[in-house]
Structure 1
């Protein structure tokens, strides 16, 4: 992708941003709240389009005219799936079973296969006992599992995940990270501002800075975690100076809370 300019309500959000993601990569998209991570994922999912530049999928521009074509839209939506940070925006069916089945049905999957996918992914996310429940009655963690099951039922080759561990207790977050680590032949781009999870979510890190053009860092996640300058510049960390008597100490602090 090559995003020259992306604005929301007249305010520049992303500028001079260029990078690509290869098939099978695990990329963690890092940055403080408000730096444009969600907007970038929406661009990658074809839910928004830049004012300047282009996002490409399989070498073709991902734009409104392309998505207006039935064949392109079907292929793209069948391969690329986005998990919203607020999963309430994704859930609208009368039951968990219908929610998981919705995507495959929209893609024309035969009903016996739809039922098999519902059973498979309900089991994988421990939702079998909840299949007849309305999603709006569930807890936040249960809703997130339903949303993930619904995405996986489509059979995506690319997963775009916006702060997927937000609102989850540590055990649930750990299970989700383990699930993602076990996926094979799926490209995963995950946004977060939690440095403690970064290496588990991706071997490659792309770092965005608030009100800064371009990418501040693009490389191995482990290298970024050792780059104090980049972390401070992005706002994910700061140096805290304080005194003990006559001695002055400086400590490196990470901003790593929900």
Structure 2
């Protein structure tokens, strides 16, 4: 298993955002983490990337404990960082090189890859970044920066992709292209979103987190979750809207699709 969580509790500023979570992610699985802002999606991704650690319970990567001590070991750290890539929701902190080409080349160079130029060209073409290769990233729009950051992660040739709101800041056409690209990749993927319209394209397994920090409300097929309006309302991803026509009252469920 790429990841195994056993009774994990994660805290943010001393407050538990996820409690007693147990789950596993199998090789090649495409998992979508859903929930409202503040439910712990990003904190869980950070833990899977070794940037945060459980306050209780155990988190393992490929059978090995994923701890600060483990990442102090140079051999494990190099393997883990080469195999697991994280795309932040706010990508400004990920971009620091003088040109887009340098951004895409940075990770492979750090890992000593022999095909850096080929990787840069491949992902620049895949994410329609070729016209920007000689430009500084800070000059680009938010959506263009997002595509640069994703290309930089993919240039590492990771076995596991962790994606925090991968389609945020993208226009509908660009978002559709990114979702299509991600669906074609042969990698393990854990992606967060609160946009229900892309859930079935992003993954074949949906995990819904409780907005109160209690843990997992649902773990199963995305289509099954999307049919459960009551559960979506309970999670905060939808709401029940009642209105009257004369003496008759009607109720409709509204889904929160905006990112």
Q: Common fold, TM-score beyond 0.5?
A: yes
Name the count of aligned residue pairs. Answer: 255
Which residue does the alignment assign to 2:87? 83
Work out the CA distance in 1 between the residues paired with 2:77 and 2:8: 24
What does residue 211 of structure 1 align with? 212
Deviant stretches of 4+, over 3 Å:
none
Conserved in 2, the CA contact under 8 Å of 1:196 and 1:256?
A: yes
Pick one of 116, 127, 130 that aligns with 1:128.
130
CA contact (8 A) 1:203 1:220 kept: yes
Q: Which one of 166, 169, 174 corresponds to residue 168 of structure 2?
A: 166
The answer (yes or no) to whether the contact 1:204–1:220 under 8 Å persists in 2 is yes
**Secondary structure of the residue that 1:248 maps to in structure 2?**
strand
Cα drift, residue 210 of structure 1:
1.2
Report the Cα offset of residue 3 of structure 1.
4.5
Name whichever of 41-50 and 120-129 sits farther off: 120-129
Query: Is 2:238–2:253's contact at 8 Å kept on the other side of the alignment?
Result: yes
- 2:49 corresponds to: 45
Within 5 A, what are the aligned runs for 1:132-143? 132-143=134-145
Q: How does 1:19-30 map to 2 (within 5 A)?
A: 19-30=23-34
Q: What is the correspondence of 1:1-258 to structure 2 with a 5 Å cutoff?
A: 1-110=5-114, 113-184=115-186, 186-258=187-259
Deviation string 1:49-77 (CA, Å, 9 cap, x unpaired) is 01111211111110111111111111111
Q: What residue ranges of structure 2 are gaps of 5+ in the alignment?
A: none
- The residue matched to 1:118 in structure 2 has which SS? helix
Contact 1:3 1:50 in 2 (8 A): no
Give the CA deviation at 1:214.
2.0
Q: Kindly provide the CA deviation profile for residues 154-212 of structure 1, in whole angstroms up to 9, marking residues without a partner as x.
A: 1001101000111111001001011011112x011110001111111111100001114
Provide, for residues 120-171 of structure 1, a one-character-per-residue CA deviation record: whole Å limited to 9, x for no partner: 1112111122111111111111111111111111100110100011111100
Whether the aligned pair in 2 keeps the contact of 1:193 and 1:236 (CA below 8 Å) is yes
Distance 1:67 1:17 in 2: 22
Normalising by structure 1, report the TM-score: 0.96
Could you tell me whether the CA contact under 8 Å between 2:16 and 2:213 is conserved in 1?
no
**What's the TM-score once normalised by structure 2's chain length?**
0.96
Deviation at 1:240, TM superposition (A): 1.3
CA distance in structure 2 between the aligned counterparts of 1:3 and 1:171, rounded to whole angstroms: 40
CA RMSD for the aligned pairs?
1.0
Q: Which runs of 5+ in 1 are unaligned?
A: none
Distance 2:8 2:199 in 1: 27
Shift of residue 38, structure 1, vs aligned partner = 0.4
Could you say what secondary structure the match of 2:24 adopts? coil
- 1:229, CA displacement in angstroms? 2.2
Paired residues of 1:161 and 1:189 also in contact (CA < 8 A): yes
Determine if contact 1:29/1:189 at 8 Å carries over to the other structure: yes
CA shift, 1:5, in A, is 2.0
SS at match of 1:81: strand
